[in-house]
Structure 1
């Protein structure tokens, strides 16, 4: 359970029991606004491998850490026996509003990546708080790897893979959340673009996503509102991301979780405040020392 300003705001499932076809991985669900509105979806009927908020990558040198089918060039989506799993190794820190852990990304018993992940919370106002999600992936395989996506494998516009937030559908079948940045509105206009922040606004909730550093801000946003509501930050939008043996890649996403349907100026103001917030003693997750607990 993660807490913010004394209130329970999210459950973090660090050792999920899931079928291998879902690429088992830790996830956050439910995530709630201060007012109690749930703003994540777990294993929805349209995409059973969507797990609330998670770090999900569809192609790590052929290994599927996203779940579901794999997009194969000239064949399309194919059910393959290529799923990996993210396994919790140990906690480095556990506080009410902070979790820092180490994970092992394995496929068929072979470790491809290790990860240091920091998840923390802080309040912005009486109606809004921030989920701060940092991931540092290190190539532990002993050989060069690369991260890809359906787009890099031949499916245009499907550059998903990395931080991903599956939001809930509205009660009315024809009601969709609004998505916008500082300069554009609608799925077609913002999908695949880079922007300092991006907002997804439902009937009575708003999520404002922002990259916390220059490297993260260079990643395009993957956005869906028509088929389902979801937002991700893409590691491999148009070309594969090489990862040499021993090298690492770091990303940090801030998500403002707010009650109410925010307009553009309000979303921009919250994004600015979130980015400017002093993150305290976790400035580089690589430097966090191990805690006493190993569970």
Structure 2
């Protein structure tokens, strides 16, 4: 019986390989030496390869004489990009793919493993039914009894681990303005006045969600683009408001098919008026993360790309920072990665000391203005890119380094038109 079942399965696979191989090859895409124990998102520009409509194109991996189907996704923008995931492999080696024209364009589309759902308070991104991360666009008010000045929109929370542990925290009693994962600035010079978009309790400014630019789903990634406004209070006069900076967030979750999440966060800042803005030197400001209450100085760890632990990490610079710890169920963590083109890369960090709030609460931030000002001129975009690798259990430093290399320097792809 088992032998017969195996024969049927092999026959079906051979039929599938035959059907896939029938499509007309358009281009061969070769990675000369892929070295990855994690899934890697990669892309190529289709502009010089094919003008066929999106629905006509498909991707397959060449394995000897066999062809394996590969999920892909086309992103249409200033350039037409073809995205796919390089699946993990145990040893380095060449990978060969073919872009081909499908014989049957009317075949039913397969349901995406990724979903973006609006729950009236935020956008929830899930992979295969498991919650990954939520962007909160509705105004969130602090707990009862706390000044409503701490109300906030435009932040990420919760961030779940693959097993379902919540890794972020909002409105903790020690810092009501901490909002999971968020990206405000502290000492900001605008029209001759100092504004604070971080410590919103000081009543100098805040950050607000404005509108969605786009939402997208597919077989490779899903996410959204949102416009946020950095609002200065009492400018130009008492009781008035002025938007000092516009900021676009692009948050993207990849279909890794691993026991890990891979999330890209891109912030694009620009001056909202003809007035320049200076993000002044200060130890706080930028991409911030307030960890779940579960973590303290007894059950969590910090390790940077430079080998520094929590004792030495604060004010140091790093390409990546790994933070993990015990949860109510199991052990989970995140690797935060910075991109080489980010301002002041490798970026300085703010890492709370081991005695923070006595129990050792965990806070982390990439703070590019920690040791120097960042002047912003009208008419220009200023982009910061980060990637998060979210996992359960622990991972070695070598794996974190490989994940950063995949982010900063994706494997080269040789394109051969056929």
TM-score range, shorter chain: 0.7 to 0.9
**Counterpart for residue 240 of structure 1:** 373
**Counterpart for residue 37 of structure 1:** 165
**Counterpart for residue 92 of structure 1:** 214
Aligned 8 A contact 1:215 1:251 in 2: yes
User: Matches of 2:409 and 2:351 in 1, distance apart?
Assistant: 25
Unaligned regions of 5+ residues in structure 2, if any? 1-123, 142-146, 234-240, 412-418
Q: Write the deviation string for residues 58-109 of structure 1: whole angstroms up to 9, x where unpaired.
A: 122222211355xxxxxxxxxx331223232333234482111222222232
**Counterpart for residue 54 of structure 2:** none
Q: How far does residue 26 in structure 1 lie from its aligned partner after superposition?
A: 0.9
Q: How far does residue 181 in structure 1 lie from its aligned partner after superposition?
A: 1.8
TM-align CA RMSD: 2.4
Please say if 1:265 is aligned against 2:405: no
Q: Paired residue for 1:210, among 337, 351, 363?
A: 337
1 or 2 for the larger relative contact order (CA 8 Å, sep ≥6)?
Answer: 1
User: Matches of 1:140 and 1:12 in 2, distance apart?
Assistant: 23
- Between Structure 1 and Structure 2, whose CA radius of gyration is higher? 2
Q: How far does residue 161 in structure 1 lie from its aligned partner after superposition?
A: 0.6
**Counterpart for residue 101 of structure 1:** 226
**Counterpart for residue 284 of structure 2:** 160
Aligned 8 A contact 2:210 2:228 in 1: yes
Cα gap change, 1:224 to 1:5, in 2 (>3 Å): farther
**Counterpart for residue 261 of structure 2:** 129
> 4+ residue stretches of structure 1 with deviation over 6 A?
none
User: Matches of 2:256 and 2:401 in 1, distance apart?
Assistant: 13
Aligned 8 A contact 2:139 2:151 in 1: no
TM-score by length of 2: 0.57
Alignment of 1:66-81 (within 5 A): 66-68=198-200, 80-81=202-203
Task: Report the number of matched residues.
Answer: 259
Q: How far does residue 36 in structure 1 lie from its aligned partner after superposition?
A: 0.5
Please say if 1:195 is aligned against 2:195: no
The secondary structure found in structure 2 opposite 1:267 is: helix
Please say if 1:186 is aligned against 2:313: no
